[in-house]
Amino acid sequence: MKIDGFRGQLITADHAEYDTARTVWNGAVDRRPRLIARCGGTADVAAAVRFARCHDLEIAVRGGGHNVAGTAVCDDGIVIDLSAMRAVWADPAGRTARVQGGALWGDVDHETQAHGLATTGGIVGHTGVAGLTLGGGIGFLMRKHGLTIDNLLAAEVVTAEGEILRASADEHPDLFWALRGGGGNFGVVASFRFALHPVGPTVMAGPLFWAAGDTVDVLRFYRDFISEAPDELGTVIRLGTVPPLPVIPEDLHWRPAIAVACCYAGAVEDGERAVRALRRFGSPLVDLLAPMPYAVFQGGFDDTVLHGWHYYWKATDLTGLSDDAIAVIADHAYAATSARSYSAMFHLGGAVARIPRDATAYAARDVAHNIIIDAVWLPDESGDHAATESAWARGFLKALQPHRAGSVYVNLLDSDDTARVREAYGDHTYQRLAEIKAKYDPDNTFHHNKNIRPS
């Protein structure tokens, strides 16, 4: 097998690395592509796209390989694999970073924090920059610095024709708009340029855990606490069991618990003040909030969601944290069978909500809370666990029906959620995306994703 103009690695079923190369983060995904084209740079990406078009091959595009639906890999077709393109070049003087399309957030935090800089990224270091950014990008810094896409300055894109374009506010602005939330529908992004901001490197951050029995009280307190919180304070709730991390006392491991993870993107002393009331609330099982390097904090959750475990997600935006919504959450959050299953809720708002709704393709700017119900089981538990854990996630989502905002973050949709893509955008944004899709990818070449059909 040969691709004209391609210098990367070509991996077919007879290659020793084939089984590793077709694996994605979600171990429940098991697809067998005909060819994996592991690109070394932008020219390889363009050559691979042209080859796929010419041979009428189904295309999957792989960034970090983290999408729960496993869209980074397809059966029979070609995977345009950017996993070897992980370089990050920080420019501290210009406060920007250029990031290749296969980089992970841990790569970005590592390089940018060397200069005391950061941009809004995901909360798990092994998540891919590309897929996360193209869907919007939520994380601890977003209330202060906006979504990841709000920090995107430019992207180098390989189109469905194999052409290399630069999209920015001044070049192909329609494409630039669509890339900021519209997912992998418009081309393969070979590199991104992001704005950076001073963050840390030492920040006040960490999680606090309370016993599961305290969930209603903690969530009611949390609701009031964050209503007054400064934009610098990013928080994520985690409901499940205490993960068996070395930093947590062993006798607490696997105990049902609610955690509030905090990160204050400002001076440590201000952060200490901002979290004081939370730390004093009730009787936490353990308080791990402390001044720590931002990059260390960002990697702190990596081992709680390992590659190869089996995952099934359900997600929705919420209208708010009413007493009723809290009661539903407390009722369902701990009813999973597997101790690894959990749910998480991000607190949005702040800078996210200050950007006009139509400035980018991320439509749900006014939503302050979402929930991800994450069913997890181990590969050798697949049988009944797959059914029971997935049923738990679906039942939890159903119970939340009265509290759903009518929108969902596109990056959280699983493979059985394809009918919900419109819900992620709303009619107006979806229509505009479909028109831009018709201009840049009229044949829907890039459809192995949360697809927007050209119109």
Ligand X SMILES: Cc1cc2nc3c(=O)[nH]c(=O)nc-3n(C[C@H](O)[C@H](O)[C@H](O)COP(=O)(O)OP(=O)(O)OC[C@H]3O[C@@H](n4cnc5c(N)ncnc54)[C@H](O)[C@@H]3O)c2cc1C
CA distance 387 to 354: 41
Q: In terms of CB distance, is 390 or 411 closer to ligand X?
A: 411
Is position 333 an interface residue for ligand X (rule: CB under 6 A)? no
Is position 299 an interface residue for ligand X (rule: CB under 6 A)? no
Which one among 82, 97, 371, 436 touches ligand X, defined by CB under 6 A? 82
Which one among 123, 141, 259, 262 touches ligand X, defined by CB under 6 A? 123
Is position 33 an interface residue for ligand X (rule: CB under 6 A)? no
Residues within window 409-428 making contact with ligand X, judged by CB under 6 A: 411
Is-contact 38 9, C-beta < 8 A? yes
**What are residue 11's DSSP bridge partners?**
36
Contacts of 228 (CB under 8 A, 6+ apart): none
Query: What 3-state class would DSSP assign to 272?
Result: helix
Calculated CA dihedral for residues 164, 167, 171, 176, nearest 10 degrees: 140
How far apart are CB 429 and ligand X at their closest, in Å? 17
CA 402 to chain centre: 25
Chain length of the chain: 455
Q: How many CB atoms lie within 10 A of CB 418?
A: 12
Is position 219 an interface residue for ligand X (rule: CB under 6 A)? no
Two structure tokens written together for 5: 């103009």
Site string for ligand X, 49-68 (x = CB under 6 A): ------------xxxxxxxx
Which one among 8, 139, 206, 350 touches ligand X, defined by CB under 6 A? 139
Q: Which stretch binds ligand X (CB under 6 A): 30-38, 88-96, 184-192, 323-331?
A: 184-192
Is position 305 an interface residue for ligand X (rule: CB under 6 A)? yes
Two structure tokens written together for 270: 């201000």
CA distance 25 to 311: 9
Q: In terms of CB distance, is 214 or 302 closer to ligand X?
A: 302
Is position 329 an interface residue for ligand X (rule: CB under 6 A)? no
Q: In terms of CB distance, is 29 or 257 closer to ligand X?
A: 29
How far apart are CB 305 and ligand X at their closest, in Å? 4
Of 370, 26, 47, give the one whose Cα is nearest residue 35.
47
Binding site for ligand X (CB under 6 A): 25, 61-68, 71-72, 82, 101, 122-124, 127-128, 130-132, 134-135, 137-139, 183-184, 188-189, 305, 411, 449
